[in-house]
């Protein structure tokens, strides 16, 4: 019969711990570390409204929606467009529409934000989500979203959205490092690697190529790490730049001309933005979802975006609106939180 060591288990565990070497702290390869830093810094910046419905059993994927429910806001189902009113998608005409948008953009006033100032963008947004108990997708009512971004990227910006607490948009992302198991986490910061197409500053956008071919190549190169449909990545990135930044007229015109060179871009004769402004749209479909850019029918000015289901899925029938945005104002202000005028 084996003898049993009479010493307490805690004492035995402590002695064994002293005999064993401390566990190694895992480290990322340099390429993986750079990729992680880019992902974290991009996540710290405001992005355009995304599709927020999810299959997971969560209340909603958007904190603003949770606050809205707590305050008694009414959420309504996101119904598909009536069958006889669904927009007809046409393959022809997208290049012509984007060229008209480029001409309109080229004649628009130039931004006047100085490096020490902030670029202010105001919009209406609406996103879809799924209730915790399942069932049909619901869409939050359109509400105001305001963002202040440091023109040169050196100062913390601000995101203000109805139904949610203000969020500071810091150029430095806090992280916690663990030297070894059991050690106290040490707080450090990830310094930004520099602006890019997916993490732009006003100064970066102002310096983008005005040649559409060169601009499209740059967009493709800087969105390559995201994976998936390369053409849709480029289309989505250009849409974000149009909605979330204040580019010089010649850069905005080049963005439209670059989008016209992306395969699969079509026209939608009638579409509405989050402010219910009706216009004509260009669109691209990927993964069963159609992303639309809505333009004023008479002036060809960019109004906003929306995403709808192109085919039926567990989120709803074809035509279900998943998200929408309407750009209302862009301006330069002296500090974060200040309103133009």
1-54 confidence digits (pLDDT tens): 445 555 555 555 555 555 555 444 444 455 544 444 444 444 444 443 333 333
106-124, pLDDT tens digit by residue? 999 999 999 999 999 999 9
Q: How many CB atoms lie within 10 A of CB 71?
A: 9
Unique residue bearing structure tokens 């049993």: 4
Stretch 199-220: mean pLDDT, rounded? 96
- Give the span between the Cα atoms of 309 and 292, in whole angstroms: 11
Using only C-alpha atoms, what is the Rg of the chain? 24
> In this predicted structure, which of 93-107, 188-202, 252-266, 274-288 has the lowest mean pLDDT?
188-202
**Ramachandran class of 149: left when φ > 0, alpha when ψ lies in -120 to 50, beta otherwise:** beta
Output the 3-class SS for 19-64: HCCCCCCCCCCHHHHHHHHHHHHHHCCCCCCCCCCCCCCCCCCCHH
SS3 169: strand
- DSSP letter string over 185-253? PEEEEEPP----SSS--HHHHHTS-SSHHHHHHHHHHHTGGG-S-HHHHHHHHHHHHHHH----HHHHH
**The pTM is what?**
0.71
**Nearest alpha carbon to residue 51 among 121, 124, 125, 149:** 125
274-321, pLDDT tens digit by residue? 999 999 999 999 999 999 999 999 999 999 999 999 999 888 899 989
DSSP character for 134?
-
- Give the span between the Cα atoms of 241 and 329, in whole angstroms: 15
**Nearest alpha carbon to residue 159 among 151, 171, 168:** 168
């Amino acid at each position: 019969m084996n003898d049993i060591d009479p010493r307490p288990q805690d004492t035995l565990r402590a002695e064994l711990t002293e005999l064993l070497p401390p566990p190694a702290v895992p480290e990322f390869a340099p390429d993986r570390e750079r990729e992680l830093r880019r992902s974290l810094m991009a996540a710290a910046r405001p992005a355009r409204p995304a599709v927020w419905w999810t299959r997971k059993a969560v209340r909603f994927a958007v904190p603003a929606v949770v606050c809205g429910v707590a305050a008694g806001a009414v959420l309504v189902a996101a119904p598909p467009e009536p069958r006889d009113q669904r927009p007809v998608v046409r393959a022809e005409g997208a290049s012509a529409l984007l060229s008209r948008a480029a001409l309109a953009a080229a004649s628009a006033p130039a931004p006047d934000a100085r490096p020490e100032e902030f670029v202010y963008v105001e919009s209406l947004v609406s996103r879809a989500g799924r209730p915790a108990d399942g069932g049909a997708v619901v869409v939050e009512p359109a509400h105001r979203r305001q963002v202040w971004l440091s023109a040169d990227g050196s100062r913390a910006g601000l995101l203000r959205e109805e139904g949610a607490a203000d969020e500071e948009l810091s150029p430095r992302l806090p992280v916690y490092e663990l030297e070894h198991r059991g050690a106290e986490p040490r707080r450090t910061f990830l310094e930004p690697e520099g602006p890019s197409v997916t993490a732009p500053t006003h100064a970066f956008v102002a310096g983008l190529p005005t040649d559409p071919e060169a601009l499209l190549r740059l967009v493709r190169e800087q969105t390559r790490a995201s994976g998936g449909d390369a053409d849709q990545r480029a289309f989505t990135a250009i849409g974000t730049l149009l909605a979330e930044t204040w580019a010089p007229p010649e850069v905005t015109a080049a963005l439209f001309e670059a989008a016209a060179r992306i395969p699969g871009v079509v026209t939608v004769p009638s579409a509405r933005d989050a402010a219910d402004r009706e216009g004509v749209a260009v669109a691209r479909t990927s993964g069963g979802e159609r992303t639309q850019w809505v333009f004023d029918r008479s002036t060809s000015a960019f109004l906003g975006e929306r995403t709808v289901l192109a085919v039926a899925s567990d989120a709803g029938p074809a035509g279900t609106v998943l998200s929408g945005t309407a750009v209302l104002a862009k301006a330069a202000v002296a500090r974060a939180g200040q309103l133009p005028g």
